[in-house]
Amino acid sequence: MARRPGRNFLFVPGPTNVPERVLRAMVVSQEDHRSPIFPELTKPLYEGLKKVFKTKDGQVFIFPSSGTGGWEAALTNTLAPGDKVLTARFGQFSHLWTDMAQRLGLDVEVQEEEWGTGAHEEKIEEALVADKEHRIKAVMVVHNETATGVTSNIGAIRKAMDAAGHPALLFVDSVSGLASIDFRFDEWKVDCAVSGSQKGLMLPAGLGFVCVSQKALGVRKNAGLNKVYFDFQDHINTNPSGYFPYTPATPLLHGLREALQCIEDEGLENIFHRHHVLAEATRRAVNAWGLKLCAKSERWHSDTVSAIMVPEGIDAAKIIRHAYDRYNLALGAGLSKVAGKVFRIGHIGDLNELMLLGAIAGAEMSMLDNGVKIQAGSGVGAAQEYLRDNPIERQAATPKAA
């Protein structure tokens, strides 16, 4: 294919756009990962990640893997063969985590939810109350399901678990939520939180993160699932001195240091606000088009990705392919049950208003080219009106008159 002018507009919900300063930080010569100065790079990373997870007591592990490796680490380091876990399945990624747990030899109780909704805290509480013998050892929840553009309320799930008086561990996949949507490891008493580098942390794929509570670390002696590469103990033995049990992804660690500084510079609460504003602008565009989100109600709206339902008789896959071929715009595809029924606009990571408007304009043109009956410019106009009145930077409070 001939070179296309300009740049590709990347609007999938991960991998996300990597800031220029992070890209530059990763352009480093190869180095000895056992050198005396290597800990100068690595040790601050753990403290920076703890700030992002909002934890003081949790322990963070960094694996050269994707978030899927983090899933496996969380399960294999805390559970034994045949242990029972409770999970809600409402999208492709909650399905994949369920599948992994089953393949590892766990007894998985699945609460099937309609795609377009999330984990229902009242149903989780009911299941835990019914578990009089405390056979359920963990509750697994996907914080932000990118396949359907749905966010579950982890704080409400913690309250439900407390109301049930159940000792189960709480495992959360926040791969596409961390550093984009508010996440409170300590306050919500999360036991294992899993994330990856290629979403809100604004890096290429290749790093998996697991933040682990002291409670979860305490049950490791009873964990009987096989693990080698993802064994917490090997990291516990080596991380305090600034090293890893095997070769780390050193350029990504340099990028992580810079990405954490980007987050520190903008401020987490400002980042959450920016993502909410950009998400709401996208939702205004969808409404102006006369289309619907896959998310069934406002309760489930995700601030990192919008999955947009196409009209009956329209193939969303053709809209996605045409957007890429004709307008150099990468939109997210529909997965599994919603394949061909939705296209997704990822509004996550290093992103501002004009970048988002470009994606909305490109999606409009591709829909029009593929027979979707919308008004040209309607979505862009609705998003513009909202963004003009709602800055992505939080406004400082106006000083009160004396």
Q: Where are the domains of the chain?
A: 9-16+268-389, 21-264
CATH number for the domain running over 21-264: 3.40.640.10
pTM of the full structure = 0.95
Strand partners, 170: 139
- Please give the class, per CATH, of domain 9-16+268-389: alpha beta
126 CB-near residues (< 8 Å, 6+ apart): none
Residue by residue, DSSP assigns 321-356 as HHHHHHH-EEEEEP-GGGTTTEEEEE--SS--HHHH
pLDDT tens digits for the chain (402 residues)?
567 789 999 999 999 999 999 999 999 999 999 999 999 999 999 999 999 999 999 999 999 999 999 999 999 999 999 999 999 999 999 999 999 999 999 999 999 999 999 999 999 999 999 999 999 999 999 999 999 999 999 999 999 999 999 999 999 999 999 999 999 999 999 999 999 999 999 999 999 999 999 999 999 878 889 999 999 999 999 999 999 999 999 999 999 999 999 999 999 999 999 999 999 999 999 999 999 999 999 999 999 999 999 999 999 999 999 999 999 999 999 999 999 999 999 999 999 999 999 999 999 999 999 999 999 999 999 999 999 999 999 875 444 444
Q: What are phi and psi of 207, to 5 degrees?
A: -120, 130
- Going through 40-157 in order, the beta strands assigned E by DSSP cover 59-63, 84-89, 107-112, 136-142, 144-145, 150-151
98 CB-near residues (< 8 Å, 6+ apart): 87, 89, 108, 110, 140
181 to 27, 165, 199: CA distances (angstroms): 29, 28, 11
Residue 384, Cβ neighbours under 10 Å: how many? 17
